[in-house]
């Protein structure tokens, strides 16, 4: 899709590595994508997940 849209091969390779989670520890783009996914989970899905999985609740 990116090639059809006119993007250069270098950019397409970079996107493929990022989305494919390649070099997570050394690729800042991949790490950023993972960080964003984590924040989205925390903001939008954590409370629902926690209510369905009490075994993960913090013990007091």
What total of structural domains would you count in the chain?
Answer: 1
So what's the pLDDT on residue 13?
A: 95
Q: Which of 45, 24, 42, 44 is nearest to 33 (CA)?
A: 24
Domain assignment of residue 18, given as a range? 9-56
- 4: in domain: no
- 42: in domain: yes
Q: Which of 44, 22, 18 is nearest to 33 (CA)?
A: 18
So what's the pLDDT on residue 25?
A: 86
- pTM > 0.85: no
- 22: in domain: yes
- 49: in domain: yes
- 2: in domain: no
pLDDT in tens, 3-59: 999 999 999 999 999 999 888 889 999 999 999 999 999 999 999 998 898 887 765
- 14: in domain: yes
């Amino acid at each position: 899709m990116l090639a059809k849209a006119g993007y250069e091969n270098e950019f397409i390779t970079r996107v493929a590595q990022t989305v494919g989670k390649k070099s997570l520890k050394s690729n800042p783009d991949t790490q950023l994508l993972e960080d964003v996914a984590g924040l989205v989970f925390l903001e939008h899905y954590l409370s629902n997940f926690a209510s369905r999985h009490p075994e993960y609740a913090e013990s007091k």
